[in-house]
Structure 1
Amino acid sequence: MSEQTLITLEDLSVSFDGAPAVKNISLTVSAGQVLALVGESGSGKSVTARSLLGLSGGQVSASELTICGRDARNLADSDWQKIRGNTISMILQDALMALDPLRPVGREIGDGLKEHSSLSKAQRVQRVHEVLASVNMPDPELRARQRSTELSGGMRQRALIAQALAGNPQVVIADEATTALDSQLTALVLAQLRALKEQGRGVLMISHDLAQVAHLADEIAVMRHGEIVESGPTAQVLNHPKHEYTRQLLQAVPSGVPRFAPLSITGAPRPSVPERQTPTGPLALSATNLSKSFGKHVAVEQVSFDLPQGKTLGLVGESGSGKTTTARMVLGLQKPDSGTVNLLGERFAPLHEPQRKQLRVHMGAIYQNPLGSFDPRYSVGQLLTDALSRGKSKRAAEYRVRVAELLEQVELSPGLLERNPRELSGGQRQRLAIARALAPKPSVLVLDEPVSALDVSIQATILDLLDQIQLETGTSYLFISHDLSVIEHMSDHVAVMHQGRIIEQGATASIFGSPQEQYTKKLLAAMPRLR
């Protein structure tokens, strides 16, 4: 690795209206090095990164802030504009939001070159094609003419990386560039970041995923509450953590952790897996030959699976494999073209809603974005009361005892009853979503990416909570996720979807230990592991 230092920060502090967000942190990034900045949301990672681009929006001070040999402490906006893109650039988290849906991606990349280079129009077009090809974009000339909405998730992420590389910067910041991507897209992005390192660029990788960091970073700096609490070579920090917060982050990674063993720190050693009685009676849920097409596109084809009572079936596959369409048919939100769903031994789909009204209470759902599923007019108490009364009442006093029980079950304070969900943290909102789903005491919960947008430590507490609820109530889970480490930890059985079909299913240990299908092997090979 080159010894050339590209970024030097000494005593960086950033505040907003007097409130400190980053407090006296110091770090360096060298050529050919990946420095990972890890920590939860609100720890100061992104504020630190944006300070390196002159975009923090706060009051910045530092005893040294050097970018590729240039003192950046008192740069004018016009000087920052010359540095951004050419010297230092950023790969953002959400490609669909970061790219303009009204313009072809080639023009969006080219506009940055127009601002920062003296290339002619023809030369800019050629450079756009070159940089798209460099990130393995298939048919770059065609993709340059397409808008972001016409590209797949992987192609959009490639376009974002190409945009960051167009000006040939020496330093690239990757700010949660793999969040919510499936394992194969994640592997693609990590490979691109590794290529940048091998080209001799400096990479500042911002992530809460220590499994990914372990495979890419040379050094790690752990941030909490605006401060770096621990730093050092990757192997040292991951294998011999010194700070309690670092140990908490490491324990929260679900990869390789046995079923029902807690992920959040409890102060006690991990217990052995509890024994559960074998359920008797009909299956909690059974899908038989479900199929669904949209026009000429076959989204789901001949999908069948069984979910026993008190168990969890993990449904995995890359984006577009048909997982969510399957979930919507199971929930009765989308009518299958063919096939059936039985709930507790009785037909549930494809009946009309009035015919399955009595069964509806036994089925619940938890989604990736809980705020999007809440009525914005309702308080916490009104949401739970609405669920308990099945839409007949919003007066919490009538259901005070049961509402209190639900809040206690998901470990939320009664003081939140009058709050609007917009005022809650991400973890609190997901707990509220779980409480609402549990209100009618369902036998089956369909969980569609319930933790993909959460930090690893908050994710750990939610997964532990779901385990606890299942052990206490015997609720069955259909758990849908692109995160294989979560599926491995949470599932008794796994079904693997590819191009609308279930290609392999079986016990979790069997699928993860001895996969039979080539596609499953490919998915597992792309899965970053910490343990």
Structure 2
Amino acid sequence: MPHEATSVPHEAVAVPHRAAAVDPVAEVRDLRVEVDGRAIVDGVSLRVLPGTVTALVGASGSGKTTTGLALLGEYPAGARVTGDVRVRADGHVTGGVRTGAAGLVGYVPQHPASVLNPARRVSALLTDIARAQVGHLPRGQRRAQARARVLRALEEAQLADGEALLRRYPHQLSGGQQQRVVLAQALLLGARVVVADEPTTGQDALTRSRVVERLAAVAGRGIAVVLLCHDLDVVRALADEVVVLRAGRVVESGPARRLLRSPRHAWTRELLGDRPEPPP
């Protein structure tokens, strides 16, 4: 992207524009989520294309996380949900707002330690997934194949020295390492969409630039990334498409280069702080 982010080094995160695919890998149509009679998401629609980054941006309470979790079929307790959520992979389509696309959508939460079992080593967390995928192989090959899959997933998640890391417990890892272990779990499961929820919150500029590189690499493998983010520098560095939410509704959406450079809605201009991305 041509913009030089103020807090994410431009030379570390330049991401080539990815050509749009014809068919979306995930689609949300007219999603409405009500809790106690109040709509926290109201008529949201979006399409997520393979190999691209779709950024959902907005203030706190705008509906970003609720929309992102809808791709997994997860909603707040007691929510009344209408609309349609579909995820496609290998010619198969999962549909229905409550159906979660098991394995097809991975989720990297803002606090990754919350989804890692603190009593199990990283090797156990990942090997259980890998073993389930090689159960069809002869018994003598299963362990070696599972191990190879785990190490490959760690490499794809940009975790160096995987052998040593496998012996550690989650609490012995940094926040960035925990995040990458969760990402490795999603890659092992064969996720076609990865929802990343505020992946750079509370991190320094160098760590943020590495998160950008990591997610760009995931998109480069043909996996769709749905980025829930308030960090506009990260959005500028990564996003192909931007969806702007306010009070549960989409107020503007479109290609990142156009929207960040020439926002059309007053709320988008306010969100950008009257500092739209300058032309190259």
Whether these two folds match at TM > 0.5 is yes
Give distance in 2, aligned partners of 1:46 and 1:115: 30
TM-superposition CA deviations, 1:98-137 (whole Å, max 9, x none): 3222211221223344566636444333211111122221
- Aligned-partner SS, 1:73: coil
* SS of residue paired to 2:41: strand
1:70 to 62, 80, 93: 93
Identity score, percent: 35
- C-alpha separation in 1, matches of 2:277 and 2:202: 18
Aligned-CA RMSD value: 2.2
The equivalent position to 1:61 in structure 2, one of 82, 87, 93, is 82
Q: Which amino acid is the alignment partner of residue 214 of structure 1?
A: R
Aligned-residue offset at 1:35: 0.8
Distance 1:163 1:203 in 2: 15
State whether residues 157 and 189 of structure 1, in contact with CA within 8 Å, keep that contact through their aligned partners in structure 2: no
In 2, the alpha carbon distance for the partners of 1:227 and 1:157 equals 29
Give the TM-score normalised by structure 2: 0.81
Relative to structure 1, the CA distance from residue 90 to residue 116 in structure 2 (aligned partners, 3 Å threshold; closer, same or farther) is farther
Say yes or no: does 1:202 pair with 2:202: no
SS across alignment from 2:168? coil
1:117 and 1:190 map into 2 onto residues whose CA distance is 32
- How do residues 379-528 of structure 1 correspond to structure 2 at under 5 angstroms? none
Note closer, same or farther for the CA distance 1:192–1:51 as it changes in structure 2 (3 Å cut). same
> Deviation digits for residues 391-438 of structure 1, max 9, x if unmatched?
xxxxxxxxxxxxxxxxxxxxxxxxxxxxxxxxxxxxxxxxxxxxxxxx
Give CA-to-partner distance per residue, 1:11-35, whole Å, 9 cap, x none: 1111123221100111000111111
What TM-score, normalized by structure 1, do the two folds share?
0.44
Q: Is it true that 1:228 corresponds to 2:250 in the alignment?
A: yes
Contact 1:65 1:72 in 2 (8 A): yes
**Match runs of 1:281-320 below 5 Å:** none
1:247 counterpart = 2:241: no
Amino acid at match of 1:46: T
**Counterpart position of 2:170:** 148
- Provide closer, same or farther for how the CA distance between residues 242 and 74 of structure 1 changes in structure 2, counting only shifts above 3 A: closer
CA distance in 2: counterparts of 1:19 and 1:140, whole angstroms: 46
Structure 2: where are the runs of 5+ without partners? 1-18, 137-141
Query: Structure 1: any 5+ residue segments left out of the alignment?
Result: 254-528
Query: Residues 99 and 215 of structure 1: is their aligned pair in 2 closer, same or farther, counting only changes over 3 Å?
Result: same
Please give the residue correspondences for 1:16-415 in structure 2 after superposition, counting only pairs within 5 Å. 16-57=35-76, 58-62=79-83, 64-68=84-88, 69-73=92-96, 80=100, 83-85=101-103, 87-114=104-131, 118=135, 120-251=142-273
1:496 aligns with none
Distance 1:9 1:53 in 2: 11
Structure 2 distance, partners of 1:123, 1:93, is 31
Q: Structure 1 residues 184, 13: closer, same or farther in 2, change over 3 A?
A: same
Letter matched to residue 43 of structure 1 = S
1:3 positional shift:
2.1
Q: Which moved more, 1:27-36 or 1:122-131?
A: 122-131
Count residues with an aligned counterpart. Answer: 249
Change (3 A) 1:118 1:16: farther
Give, in angstroms, the shift of residue 153 of structure 1: 3.2
Contact 1:105 1:147 in 2 (8 A): yes
Deviation at 1:160, TM superposition (A): 2.2
Distance (whole Å) between structure 2 residues aligned to residue 113 and residue 215 of structure 1: 33
Counterpart CA distance in 1 for 2:113 and 2:69 is 20
**Aligned partners of 1:225, 1:117: CA distance in 2, in Å?**
45
